[in-house]
Amino acid sequence: MHRYVAFLRGINLGKRRVKMDDLRALFVAQKFADVSTFIASGNVLFSSRSADARKLEAQIETALQAGLGYAVDTFVRTRDEVAAIAAYRAFADADMDHPDHTAYVGFLREALPAAQAKGLVACATAVDALHVQGREYYWLCRIKSNESTVWTSPPMRALKLPTSSVRNLTTIRKLAALP
What is the pTM for the complete model shown?
0.95
| Dihedral sign, Cα of residue 158, residue 164, residue 166, residue 172 | negative
Residues above pLDDT 90, as percent of the chain:
93
Regarding whether 156 and 129 lie in a shared domain, the answer is: yes
Q: What mean pLDDT do residues 170-175 have?
A: 97
92 Cα distance to chain centroid: 22
What domain range includes position 119? 88-177
91 and 103 Cβ atoms separated by less than 8 Å: yes
| Dihedral sign, Cα of residue 145, residue 44, residue 71, residue 15 | negative
The domain total for the chain is 2
**What local confidence, expressed as pLDDT, does residue 52 receive?**
98
Last residue of a domain, one of 62, 82, 102: 82
Regarding whether 11 and 41 lie in a shared domain, the answer is: yes
Rounded to an integer, what distance in angstroms lies between the CA atom of residue 139 and that of residue 116? 15
Last residue of a domain, one of 82, 114, 136: 82
87 CB contacts (<8 Å, ≥6 apart)?
A: 176
Regarding whether 97 and 70 lie in a shared domain, the answer is: no
pLDDT digits (tens, 9 = 90+) for 90-138: 999 999 889 999 999 999 999 999 999 999 999 999 999 999 999 999 9
**What local confidence, expressed as pLDDT, does residue 15 receive?**
84
What CATH number has the domain bearing residue 70? 3.30.70.1280
